[in-house]
Amino acid sequence: MAVMRAGRITALAVVIATCAGAEPLSEGLKKATDCMMQVLQTTPGVSDPKLDTANGSVCLRYQPNEKSVWEQPTSFCLDSNSHVPETPYVFTGDFPGLTAPGEEPDTHVSDAVMQKWNAQCGVYAQGIFT
């Protein structure tokens, strides 16, 4: 219980520190991103989870333990251009990985993360390859 509370306090502190100067997060978005951070902190194969902002948008970043070669952390940012009827919060992920010719990209960790976020956190998460 103390570990979960410490993780939530850390996530909240990161949101406050990184969003300084940006618009404050709504209560619903704070609740969603706290849940998303909890999923990242407890999912096997995820390392170095972070919550920050990019271009004024809330983003979650992490390093997945996947076979694809990742040039940078996987990032999921709040996507104000995407809308789904089930939730006001759509997060679009950027998979910056490389794969060998003829091989399918390995996103098994990120797939598990997105499934948990969609089921538990009141968000819709989707991934794209760049």
The tally of domains found in the chain comes to 1
> Predicted confidence band at 34 (pLDDT cuts at 50, 70, 90)?
very high
Structure tokens at 41: 């902190």
Domain around 68: 2-129
pLDDT value for 120: 97
Closest CA to 55 of 31, 85, 24, 77: 77
pLDDT value for 99: 76
Distance CA 23, CA 128 (A): 27
Structure tokens at 94: 């950027």
Distance CA 65, CA 77 (A): 20
Judged against a pLDDT cut of 60, whether residue 20 lies above it is answered with: no
pLDDT value for 7: 44
Judged against a pLDDT cut of 90, whether residue 114 lies above it is answered with: yes
Lowest mean pLDDT among 18-22, 45-49, 70-74, 104-108: 18-22
> Which segments of 19-107 does DSSP mark as H helices, in order?
27-42
pTM surpassing 0.85?
Answer: no
Answer for the pair 52, 25: CB distance below 8 angstroms, yes or no.
no
